[in-house]
Amino acid sequence: MLKIDRIAYSVEGRPLFEDASATIPDGHKVGLVGPNGAGKTTLFRLIRGELTLDNGEIELPSRAKVGGVAQEAPSTEVSLIDTVLAADTERASLMAEAESAADPTRIAEIQTRLADIDAWSAEARAASILKGLGFDDADQQKPCSAYSGGWRMRVALAGVLFAQPDLLLLDEPTNYLDLEGALWLESYLAKYPHTVVIISHDRGLLNRAVGGILHLEDRKLTYYQGPYDQFARQRAERRAQATAIAKKQQARRDHLQSFVDRFRAKASKAKQAQARLKMIERMDMVAAPEEAARRKFTFPQPDALSPPIISMEGGVTGYGETRVLHHLDLRIDQDDRIALLGRNGQGKSTLSKLLSDRLPLMEGHVSRSSKLRIGYFAQHQVDELHLDETPLQHLQRERPDTPPSKLRALLAGFGLQAAQAETEVGRLSGGQKARLSLLLATLDAPHLLILDEPTNHLDIESREALVEALTEYSGAVILVSHDMHLLSMVADRLWLVSDGTVKPYEDDLDAYRALLLKPEKPRSKGAAKPAAPKPQRPSRDKILEMRSEVRKCETRVSKLEEMREKLAKKLADPALYEDTRVGELETWNKKYAEVMDGLARAEDLWMSAQERLDAAEKL
């Protein structure tokens, strides 16, 4: 259990926490959300003991291991798989001691402990985690030095997941993952056996991988049961109630004050006026919640072009002599909203560069509208901004003849107000840098806007603002993103980049997610076996029986979900953690673990039953 008890902490005189409290029971998965700069990362550092509290306490079980990703894996000649294996320091230490131990008693102790921590399956577990994060078998044998910083961050993430700390603290882990890696991480965290607290602006992850939201606002912590969408509804209801109460109180106060103002000087009413004045002084006013400054993006609208704006036949592209994509037969119209899907390394960024004319066409034919303007945003461009220049100076370089007042208006249209306009880029937040890069990409009112991971460093409100801006934008959009919510809200066409080419994906995003999360069947070695005869379609009665089994599985899962919710609410009760109720706490924790185990088995049975039914109905 993680218990945060009335903590206070300030940075340079600015309070980040004041009398903030929260309790997170063992095994819970919690999303930590709040405005940028509120102190979410600071809270992680306080939990890890890297900073000292001004007041209050943060309590963890004795000997609890706390883990997180502080920095990328070092650039060494050690292979990825060995780097991840070394992250479990206890296993690594025991394995090293086992090589030299001579005392029979100690050898027995080592072997017993190695068995307890399942040390012999460690390499398979480490390989599975690396594969989920985008490293195939060959990649895992390469040294860390063969990879860039972003990829080494994935290795560091793999290491902490493999080590399985009792409390896992993750700060925006999807920022350096693609869609496939982000979906894998969602699934992995949902089944993680210990407590997880994750800072994220990824709405999909906060809806699918966590069961509670810890909200940091106004220097206080508030725990909400349920995923992000449920939190958003509950918070909106609370804000509406507080606003209504504040309005009623203010109306009452105004009414009393008007009486005081009218009759204070009149002798016959003076006592009544004084009584009302005392009533005003005694009123415990409820402050109306302040609305956060609205995030926004204002994309300039392009003029209309005749369709298609890009047409390609038999296209081939790649790098140098290496062909990456071929047989490209594509058409893009100005009203298209296209999401690029595909596993890491299949060529999504390569296609983006080809369409933006940053890569040449090796073979084939491409035609573009003669007046076509293309805007291109990729995450690496944020890192290529001039750190010693202000956003205003960036725009002045692009628009030297435009008055500064108009350039400031453009910056304000992307949420960069007067203070940020004159601040050196190196001192801006990641989200503010991303906004500047998006502004530069759309400055010429492009007919086609290509966005490669645009949401990194953007908070949830900014992501919603981006969705609104793209919805109103009258140009075409090509989108690569790990944010499933953004893809589902913006894209109306899906292209799958796979096996060296690009094809329309006819199913929806939910089907693609299920496809990615479906376990791969192991390939058999040796000579290929002759094709088995085509199976016969089961009888109607058999299919009805399968459907009945699926419904039974669904009912079983629903009942276990209800039990899990009830137990989670019970475990979220702070009173349960008083010293006098230790035995009761252990009982409820045991029940919760049993229900979670039963739920995992029930979900597996449900999935198996559904797969059998799907296969039967396709025959």
Beta-strand pair 322-332/476-480: unpaired
State residue 477 phi and psi, 5-degree precision: -130, 130
> Is 554 inside a domain boundary?
yes
Residue 306 pLDDT greater than 80, yes or no = yes
Give the count of alpha carbons within 13 A of 615, CB side only.
9
Q: Are residues 405 and 551 in the same domain?
A: no
Strand order, beta sheet including 448-452 = 374-378, 448-452, 476-480, 337-341, 493-498, 501-504
d(CA 315, CA 320): 15
Q: Are residues 510 and 595 in the same domain?
A: no
> What is the pLDDT, as a whole number, of residue 267?
62
> Is 474 inside a domain boundary?
yes
Tokens matching residue 300:
């300039």
Beta-strand pair 212-217/55-59: unpaired
**Where does a domain end: 266, 282, 298?**
282
In sequence order, what E strands does 470-529 have?
Answer: 476-480, 493-498, 501-504
Q: Are residues 457 and 401 in the same domain?
A: yes
The model's confidence at residue 525, banded by pLDDT at 50, 70 and 90, is very low
In sequence order, what E strands does 439-528 have?
Answer: 448-452, 476-480, 493-498, 501-504
Task: Quickly list DSSP for 36-74.
Answer: TTSSHHHHHHHHTTSS--SEEEEE--TT--EEE--SPPP
Q: What is the pTM of this model?
A: 0.68
In terms of Cα–Cα distance, which of 490, 452, 518 is closest to 183?
A: 518
Beta-strand pair 220-225/212-217: antiparallel
pLDDT-above-90 percentage for the chain: 30
Per-residue pLDDT averaged across 151-160, rounded? 90
pLDDT tens, position by position, 432-446: 888 899 999 999 999
Q: Are residues 358 and 445 in the same domain?
A: yes
pLDDT tens, position by position, 311-327: 999 999 999 888 999 99
Q: Are residues 314 and 270 in the same domain?
A: no
> What is the pLDDT, as a whole number, of residue 502?
94
Q: Are residues 567 and 497 in the same domain?
A: no
The model's confidence at residue 557, banded by pLDDT at 50, 70 and 90, is confident
List, in sequence order, every residue forming a beta bridge with 325; answer none if it has no partner: 317
Per-residue pLDDT averaged across 254-273, rounded? 69
- For residue 475, give the CATH number of its domain: 3.40.50.300
**Where does a domain end: 113, 129, 162?**
162
> Is 294 inside a domain boundary?
no
> What is the pLDDT, as a whole number, of residue 89?
83
> What is the pLDDT, as a whole number, of residue 427?
84
> Is 2 inside a domain boundary?
no
Residue 521 pLDDT greater than 60, yes or no = no
Q: Are residues 236 and 353 in the same domain?
A: no
Q: Are residues 455 and 563 in the same domain?
A: no
> What is the pLDDT, as a whole number, of residue 510?
85
Tokens matching residue 577:
């953690």
Tokens matching residue 376:
């291109």
**Where does a domain end: 135, 162, 189?**
162
Give the count of alpha carbons within 13 A of 619, CB side only.
16
Average pLDDT score, the chain: 83
> Is 595 inside a domain boundary?
yes
Q: Are residues 363 and 416 in the same domain?
A: yes
Q: Are residues 544 and 510 in the same domain?
A: no
At residue 72's C-alpha, the angle toward residues 497 and 51, to 5°, is 135
Residue 293 pLDDT greater than 80, yes or no = no
> Is 402 inside a domain boundary?
yes
Domain assignment of residue 370, given as a range: 310-517
The helix/strand/coil state of 294 is coil
Give the count of alpha carbons within 13 A of 17, CB side only.
28
In terms of Cα–Cα distance, which of 188, 143, 180, 144 is closest to 164?
A: 188
> Is 125 inside a domain boundary?
yes
pLDDT tens, position by position, 567-605: 777 777 767 666 666 667 677 777 777 777 777 777 777
> Is 287 inside a domain boundary?
no
Q: Are residues 513 and 544 in the same domain?
A: no
At residue 599's C-alpha, the angle toward residues 88 and 119, to 5°, is 20
pLDDT-above-70 percentage for the chain: 88
Q: Are residues 342 and 430 in the same domain?
A: yes
Helices (H) and strands (E) in the chain, counts: 22, 18
The model's confidence at residue 332, banded by pLDDT at 50, 70 and 90, is very high
Q: Structural domain tally of the chain?
A: 4
d(CA 384, CA 611): 47
